[in-house]
Chains A and B, each alone.
Chain A
């Protein structure tokens, strides 16, 4: 049977999704057999990831293709559609899922919380629901898939449900996910514009205007922002990510946050018509705040997974900054600049999917081998876990934005887009938005600082605990999964022009503008922004330069001191008895940030007095938003429930009387 390209894409994606579903259900067959689940089903799940990614690759350059599934309610079938936007995110999902699934095959052990069979079901249903979110073409299927995604990930987060703090983290996650889902539902309600038809094509044809369009936009931003970790709604991330098993954190941070970005792009760029300029500014400002906030909080964390969770907040902020710029440019009809910013956003999405998944997987290996998440008790693991240390190094360099890796490309593109903002026709905007570039640079710099801390404290120096001497390297499946993601990071870093060309169908779909032509103006070696005299970057030349400098240094040293190697202890300043506890700690490393940005944290310090027998130093840096936004709402809810509680007497006849009275009053009102 010969399938057209776009139909083939849909078929591939659906087969991948069904495959995931089937693999998940197969986990129930022998729920306790770790061999069956881990060694057979999870690698099979990786095949599903390949199918989904292949479907995305096939669909990217094609025209959109739609299909109607014979599922759903009577007279309300599910519509699916794959266009360039969803194809791009499918590629992202597929590639990340392959790496994480291979890693998981070696990761899950027996006797940890949920039975392996259940874990397998939840994990694969989670993957399948994310694929469904990306291909949904009506609000009905979208919401069903969205909620399935939220629920399956909730159960994954709480797989160690016997610990109360994990249940608490899961509850916060579920709560915010549902508040967000309600906002998304309302947004679709506004978008259908009284047509009563929730298929996206109908929404596109009857896009609301003026204030209604803004209402739909703000609701969508709120709803998707809650999932993505936009600033006031970010509190679930640093709770849920440390609670979840590491591959799950990797998927949630690497892929699930991107589905929220996908939803925001779908509504803002596709379903709603022309944007209003302040939409872009709103996204931009919130993104800047989120990025700076995330980076600052990441710098003061002492739990390695919390640190990565805050770093995810920062990266989502960066993506939102790019989307905000793209929306603003689009509102002023500057499609080329909008395409530049949108490319930066998409590029950063897939970058983050790769390196954040990689780092979370690395923390998983560290966690398994040391049973320790606290940075203060790790250290020196580069000796006992060399391959994990190498992979984590690549990931850390990539996320810190060091050329020639991928993080640099997207942040560079984004800064170039910022540098073009003075050409905006609005005089306030073209003066104020360039200031945002400073904030973005601050967050990028802080991200580098955070990664130095992350890598340095975990892998370098001396082991801080004697137990770390027994740490062992990850198994081959875990290493294979991480190597896959590392390869992605390197490829995305070295071939930016190729990637921009692959991303271009999304630009032409959403903005009717392509970027690859201007990007390739200086030849295949360089990626060029707007014009060759403006800015160009060639990762290959940078890479070769680095290689040659390193090689030259190596050879020079070799030549000068060849064969005369002498090992000795490092100089200890004449201090007798250096111990590993004298190294710089995670707290110590974050201390300058804590001092400089003190008003941003809610710091509680417990300082020892000179007379303490056992001096204890404890410092916590809390989130102001808990005290400003969440606790007041919680208190208000409690007060209102107490008022309503007055009605509650526990007498059935009284309750029935309430019903009767309501019924009679309503009947009298209608008659």
Chain B
């Protein structure tokens, strides 16, 4: 495979990732959100495998496999179970002012690209052009975390942010050392479990998954 084709494919995947990030920002339904998350993981795994193939970085194959298992199969499955148990499969969240959110998101993408520009110039990787996208998707997921009111979408926002970070690592330096990646994967898994337990307790205590109820817990 020629280098230019590889670069184009990597760019394609990157733009898909950004598109999915925007879609998640605007998606109201919990179920679709999980699907989008799974798709994002799939794109990420494909992209990692592609980079591994082009650059002969063998440890990236493991990363890709790990991503596939964890983010495409295991985590979506856990999330599906979670929304089944909580009986929120068909929930629709009322989002305030999607156009404004999208506009702010566009602003964040611009910031991401601006910040990534000097780093991309320093980098020698085939993926250097996509660092801006990676940063932008991190910021977009963060944005999603802020705008969501319910517990499960917040969990998904957190996981999506981790996806963005992973993508940033791949595009800037061909991934983190495998030890670090394994550690992060474990963290994400454990984090999801904790969030799951937390949401159950939230519901038990307040009979709702609305994060607003936690505001009562503040000091004073």
Contact = CB atoms under 8 A, between A and B. Distances in A.
B216 interface: yes
Contacts of A660: 139, 142-143, 146
B214 to A, nearest CB: 6
Contacts of A575: none
A553 interface: no
Interface string A636-654: 0000000001001111110
B216 A656 contact: no
What is the interface of chain B mostly: helix, strand, loop, or mixed? helix
Given A656-B142, A656-B145, A660-B139, A667 B111 contact: yes
A657 interface: yes
B85 interface: no
B212 interface: yes
Interface in A124-156: none
A657 B146 CA distance: 6
B138 to A, nearest CB: 9
Chain A's interface: helix, strand, loop or mixed, by majority? helix
A3 interface: no
B104 to A, nearest CB: 10
A656 B218 CA distance: 15
Q: Size class of A's contact patch?
A: 10 to 19
A569 B54 CA distance: 108
A668 B115 contact: yes
Contact of B115 (A645, A650, A651, A670): A670
A546 interface: no
Contacts of B142: 656, 659-660, 663
B219 A648 contact: yes
Given A650-B216, A652-B211, A656-B145, A664 B139 contact: yes
B183 interface: no
B101 interface: no
A648 B147 CA distance: 18
Contacts of B117: 671
B215 A645 contact: no
Given A660-B139, A664-B108, A653 B115 contact: no
Given A656-B145, A659-B142, 14 more contacts: A645-B220, A648-B219, A649-B218, A650-B214, A650-B215, A653-B148, A653-B211, A664-B108, A667-B111, A667-B135, A668-B114, A668-B115, A671-B114, A671-B118
29 contacts: A645-B219, A645-B220, A648-B219, A649-B218, A650-B214, A650-B216, A650-B217, A651-B212, A652-B211, A653-B145, A653-B147, A653-B148, A653-B211, A656-B142, A656-B145, A656-B146, A660-B139, A660-B142, A660-B143, A660-B146, A663-B139, A663-B142, A664-B111, A664-B139, A667-B115, A668-B111, A671-B114, A671-B117, A671-B118
Q: State the 10 A-B residue pairs at the shortest beta-carbon distance, nearest first.
A: A650-B218, A650-B215, A671-B115, A667-B115, A656-B146, A660-B142, A653-B146, A656-B145, A652-B211, A657-B146
